[in-house]
Structure 1
Amino acid sequence: MNNPISHVLQQLHDAVNRGDQDALSQYYATDAKVVATPMSTDNHQHASQRDCIDALLKFQKKFMPEHFVTTGDERVIQAGDVALVVAKLYLVPKATPNALPCEGKRAVYVLQKDASGEWRCIIDNFFGTDLLDFA
């Protein structure tokens, strides 16, 4: 995993699994958008980075309290300082962390390189293309 974008996503998922808000704030841009519910895609909602992180952690506690999120295959499409990532996410039970993951979901992320050269997530949509099912 020598791709810096893949590394950021791995660190982001590790921080979610730990429930570490401070670590998460390192991987999200200050104007990040986290799609925490299928109906929260309204671009007119203005939320702070902290609001997005809080929503993500609330989702984790409500819908996956007994699971870890792991990343499978991913595709990174990069154009300059912006990257689109489509990745398979799997939930693995905490009780059996070495179990084979069940059916994956396809998450969609957009990352942007900031002024200091660090990649930050600006859109985190772990519902991926399943959002179309809620339209």
Structure 2
Amino acid sequence: MHTHPLRQIIESCDRAISAKDFDSLMENYSEDAALVVKPGMIVKGKDNIRKAFIAISDYFQDQLIVEQGDMQVIEGGGNALVIMETVLRFPDGNNGIVETTRRATYVFRQESDSRWLCTIDNSYGTSLLDADTA
């Protein structure tokens, strides 16, 4: 079965997050991108997204591991909606590791040079609807 090129891009982003390689990570975001940091907190622009990823890494004591599971890609109008499982592993504070799976949603835009850039990064997916952000 043919693998969508976005799987490779997302895999490289996950490796960059896990390795704290934020320069490589930012190569996959558009200048006008938005990142859901947590329910009720969204940052916009590559500089702010980079700062958010550094803060997230610090929060998880530089031990956050990100991997992907099942993925569906829906393309239309030069954009792609990615619906996927994101697997996160991080310290629990008691010398153990927590593993959690989110059903994430991402939006990518295909640029004129055929590169795909992330414009919306929402690792919380539709669970944002369950969050009390009022």
Give yes or no for TM over 0.5: yes
Cα pair 2:39 2:128 within 8 Å, conserved: yes
Is 2:79 the counterpart of 1:82? yes
More strand by share: 2
* Counterpart pick for 2:65 among 58, 63, 68: 68
CA separation in 1, counterparts of 2:57 and 2:122? 14
Unmatched runs of 5 consecutive residues or more in structure 1: 95-100
SS at match of 1:115: coil
Give the superposition deviation at 1:62.
Answer: 1.0
Residues 11-50 of structure 1 deviation map (CA, whole Å, 9 limit, x = unaligned): 1111111111210121001111011121124xxx7x3211
Unmatched runs of 5 consecutive residues or more in structure 2: 92-97
Give the superposition deviation at 1:61.
Answer: 2.6
Q: How many residues align?
A: 125
* Counterpart pick for 1:118 among 111, 115, 122: 115
Q: Which runs of 4+ in 1 moved over 4 A?
A: none
Residues 43-82 of structure 1 deviation map (CA, whole Å, 9 limit, x = unaligned): xx7x321111211231233147433111000111111410
CA separation in 1, counterparts of 2:65 and 2:86? 10
Identity of matched residues, %: 29
